[in-house]
């Protein structure tokens, strides 16, 4: 009989203590201890000291006990203890690791991003002969991807003799997490070709890939597949992935449709995905209405729901509403504000021009500001041309230890702020700093999907096979813009060059290349969807507005922050961004 409750466990423990010294009951005693250990290790909520105490009191723990302990540690808040325990087991215990041991250890490495330790385990696995166990192989794939080593994951995957749906799904999901959504989609297509059954886990992962990259066509096909084969059709996780895919691919109507179809299977995640999607598409009032409906159904918002709500306020410029949500969210919804929430509200205040209030909020908030938050504020200073504040904040940002590649973003922003004020010397200084540290800024890139294939354009790109036609199209556009007396926003070029060169630079921004390609490749009057990795510059934004009018095209552009729907010369954001 297994133990199923804490009271049973305590009872058993009392019994063990009572009969502890009775030699005749030795086997019984052992058995009870073992049961108690298993229960306490598996039911513990993170604190494993009790389980460990019992384990250490076992006269001769076997490998099952060791594995159970490792599993418990790997799922605890401090998974590194699994590795520590493993090392002590290697040194002090007669038990050897087996094929059950490794998945737990690899999980710990995955959670902690311990590449080096993961590789060492891989070595042990190879030597011990467990390397062809499918569970171990899947754990290896997951570990490598979680450590950002998708190349090694591919190697494990390629060497597998018998791949099943889990092998493929692990690989696809890992690629998505490694910011390789296009490879993930390719994997998925190969999987279909191979005739491997697709399940809801696969579907969720490939939809995440579509969401990241804006592959609406692929996403729609996956949706069809889900309906045809009824793969988790009513599961909330599949619906959420579909909603998120549609919103991030710029198709808020389809997202709404999915959300309406699952009326009776909604959970906090699907509500949040929809609220967040509506907010990013400028349907801020609808987002807040949904938030209220959700509460009427007694579904409690979580941290991300509140982020979505605040981001609706931010995109709409509702300063006092957003500030009130932030101040009352703990009392009303039981959610303590995190850095994301402060980030939204700081952006909300700052973008509305309340720079002092935004700065004060950062300084008074109970958690430490991260670089993203300072950058948000500095960006707003640039927008509102408050150079004194910007320079003061830049000094502060620079004083923070810069050690990750993420700091590239800080230096780029700092350089841009200096450049926009004509301080070329200071700009050059940040440039040198980047070179010295070997930081390479990620270039502007835009993606557009044509007939199910995603094309990516980098700023100044001439590598595309149809490059010539694209540049010819841009020339044609330029002529038409001249007729419209369009003035390029040369001040957006933050280089010390003449106006002609500035105009040239502007005309090669990645979203314009993608747009020209879209105009060539799609039928008249159809929508064009573009996904950009950074924030669009003012010139590109104005450019898209004009193009939407003269070419009679709806253009839906996703930038790093939100969506812009251009139609007939106007943008859904009403130029508030």
Least CB distance to DNA at residue 553 (A): 27
Q: Which residue number, 133 or 554, has a Cβ lying nearer to DNA?
A: 133
Smallest distance, DNA to C-beta of residue 172, A: 9
Nearest CB to DNA, comparing residues 51 and 373: 373
Decide whether 30 or 132 has the Cβ nearer to DNA: 132
Choice between 150 and 170, CB closer to DNA: 170
Distance of closest approach, residue 544 Cβ to DNA, in angstroms: 19
Task: Indicate whether 269 belongs to the interface with DNA (CB under 7 A).
Answer: yes
Is position 533 an interface residue for DNA (rule: CB under 7 A)?
no
CA separation for the pair 91, 286 (Å, rounded): 61
| Residue in 42, 45, 54, 51 with CA at minimum distance from that of residue 2 | 42
Minimum gap (Å) between residue 302 Cβ and DNA: 6
Phi, psi of 449 (to 5 degrees): -100, 125
Stretch of 24-32, 317-325, 367-375, 425-433 lying at the interface with DNA (CB under 7 A): 367-375
Shortest reach from residue 265's CB to DNA, in Å = 8
Of 208 and 502, CB closest to DNA? 208
Among 302, 357, 456, 554, binds DNA (CB under 7 A): 302
| Segment 425-432 long-range contacts (CB within 8 Å, at least 24 positions apart) | 427/494
User: Residue 280 and residue 425: Cα distance in Å, rounded?
Assistant: 38
Closer residue to DNA, CB minimum distance, 156 or 519: 156
Which of helix, strand or coil describes residue 360?
Answer: helix
48 is an interface residue for DNA by CB under 7 A: no
In the block, tokens 């950002």 appear at: 148
Instruction: Choose which of 34, 108, 178, 240 interacts with DNA (CB under 7 A).
Output: 240
Order of all β-strands in the sheet with 570-571: 453-458, 445-450, 528-532, 555-558, 563-567, 570-571
As measured in angstroms, the least distance from the Cβ of 491 to DNA is 19
Cα–Cα distance, 176 to 170 (Å, whole number) = 10
* Residue 570: strand, helix, or coil: strand
Exactly one of 192, 233, 299, 339 binds DNA (CB under 7 A); which one? 339
Name which position in 11, 338, 435, 442 contacts DNA (CB under 7 A): 338
When asked if residue 386 is in the footprint of DNA (CB under 7 A), the reply is no
Report the site for DNA in 154-193 (rule: CB under 7 A): 165-166, 169-170, 173
Binding of residue 343 to DNA (CB under 7 A): yes
Partners of 89 in beta bridges: none
**Residues 42 and 56 sit within 8 Å (Cβ to Cβ):** no
CA neighbor of 43 nearest in space, from 92, 9, 84: 9
Q: Is 303 in the site for DNA (CB under 7 A)?
A: yes
Q: How far apart are CA 34 and CA 55, in angstroms?
A: 8
The nearer residue to DNA, 287 or 308, going by C-beta atoms, is: 308
382 forms part of the interface with DNA (CB under 7 A):
no
Binding of DNA by 150 (CB under 7 A): no
Burial class (CB in 10 A: 0-12, 13-18, 19+), 46: exposed
- Rule CB under 7 A: say whether 311 interacts with DNA: yes
Within 81-140, which residues bind DNA (CB under 7 A)? Answer: 98-100, 103-104, 107, 110, 130, 133-136, 138-139
d(CA 143, CA 112): 10
Element (H, E) at 449: strand 445-450
**Strand bridging mode 563-567 / 528-532:** unpaired
Which of 178, 205, 254, 507 is in the footprint of DNA by CB under 7 A? 205
Does 9 interact with DNA (rule: CB under 7 A)? no
Pair of tokens at residue 140: 């290896």
Contact 154, 182 (CB under 8 A): no
> Does 273 contact DNA by CB under 7 A?
yes
Instruction: Give the residue with the Cβ less far from DNA, 280 or 507.
Output: 280
Per CB under 7 A, does 577 bind DNA?
A: no
Please give the structure tokens belonging to residue 109: 């490495």
Give the residue with the Cβ less far from DNA, 339 or 458.
Answer: 339
Q: How far is the CB of 226 from DNA (least distance, A)?
A: 12
According to the binding rule CB under 7 A, does residue 541 interact with DNA? Answer: no
> Which CB sits closer to DNA, 143 or 516?
143
DSSP secondary structure code for residue 232 in this structure: S
Binding mask 410-449 for DNA (x = CB under 7 A): ----------------------------------------
Residue with tokens 């040239």: 504
- Pairwise CA distance, residues 239 & 245, whole Å: 10
Q: What burial letters (b/e) apply to 273-301, b meaning 16+ CB within 10 Å?
A: bbbbbbbbbbbbebbbebbeebeeeebeb
């Amino acid at each position: 009989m297994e133990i199923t409750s804490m009271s049973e466990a305590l009872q058993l423990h009392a019994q063990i203590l009572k009969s502890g010294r009775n030699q005749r009951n030795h086997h019984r005693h052992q058995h009870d201890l073992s049961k108690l250990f298993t229960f306490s290790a598996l039911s513990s909520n993170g604190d494993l000291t009790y389980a460990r105490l019992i384990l250490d009191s076992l006269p001769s723990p076997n490998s099952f006990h060791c594995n159970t302990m490792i599993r418990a540690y790997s799922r605890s808040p401090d998974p590194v203890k699994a590795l520590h325990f493993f090392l002590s087991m290697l040194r002090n215990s007669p038990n050897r690791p087996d094929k059950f041991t490794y998945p737990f250890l690899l999980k710990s490495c995955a959670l902690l991003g311990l590449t080096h330790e993961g590789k060492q385990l891989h070595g042990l696995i190879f030597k011990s002969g467990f390397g062809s166990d499918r569970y171990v192989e899947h754990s290896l794939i997951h570990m490598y991807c979680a450590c950002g080593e998708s190349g090694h994951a591919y190697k494990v995957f390629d060497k597998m003799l018998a791949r099943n749906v889990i092998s493929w799904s692990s690989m696809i999901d890992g690629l998505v997490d490694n910011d390789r959504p296009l490879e993930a989609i390719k994997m998925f297509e190969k999987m279909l070709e191979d005739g491997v059954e697709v399940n809801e886990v696969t579907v969720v992962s490939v939809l995440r890939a579509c969401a990241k990259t804006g592959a609406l066509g692929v996403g729609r096909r996956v949706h069809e597949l889900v309906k045809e084969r009824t793969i988790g059709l009513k599961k909330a996780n599949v619906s959420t992935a579909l909603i998120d895919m549609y919103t991030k691919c710029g198709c808020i109507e389809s997202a709404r449709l999915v959300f309406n179809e699952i009326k009776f299977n909604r959970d906090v995640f699907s509500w949040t995905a929809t609220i967040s999607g509506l907010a990013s598409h400028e349907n801020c009032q609808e987002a807040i209405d949904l938030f209220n409906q959700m509460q009427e159904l007694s579904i409690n918002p979580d941290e991300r729901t509140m982020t979505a709500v605040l981001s609706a306020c931010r995109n709409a410029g509702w300063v006092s509403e957003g500030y009130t949500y932030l101040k009352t969210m703990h009392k009303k919804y039981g959610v303590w504000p995190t850095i994301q929430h402060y980030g939204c509200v700081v952006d909300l205040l700052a973008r509305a021009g309340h720079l002092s209030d935004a700065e004060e909020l950062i300084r008074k908030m109970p958690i430490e500001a991260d670089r993203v938050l300072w950058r948000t504020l500095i960006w707003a200073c640039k927008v509102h041309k408050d150079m004194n504040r910007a320079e003061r904040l830049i000094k502060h940002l620079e004083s923070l230890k810069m050690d990750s590649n993420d700091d590239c973003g800080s230096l780029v922003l700092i350089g841009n702020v200096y450049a926009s004020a004509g301080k070329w010397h200071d700009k050059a200084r940040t440039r040198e700093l980047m070179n010295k540290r070997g930081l390479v800024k990620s270039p502007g890139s835009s993606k557009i999907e044509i007939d199910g294939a995603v094309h990516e354009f980098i700023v100044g790109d001439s590598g595309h096979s149809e490059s010539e036609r694209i540049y010819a199209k841009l020339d044609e556009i330029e002529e038409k813009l001249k007729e419209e007396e369009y003035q390029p926003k040369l001040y957006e070029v933050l280089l010390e060059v003449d106006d002609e060169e500035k105009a040239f630079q502007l005309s090669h921004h990645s979203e314009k290349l993608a747009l020209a390609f879209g105009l060539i490749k799609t039928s008249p009057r159809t929508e064009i969807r573009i996904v950009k990795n950074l924030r669009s510059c003012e010139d590109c934004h104005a450019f898209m507005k004009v193009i939407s009018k003269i070419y009679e095209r709806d253009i839906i552009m996703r930038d790093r922050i939100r969506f812009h729907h251009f139609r007939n010369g106007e943008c859904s954001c009403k130029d508030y961004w």
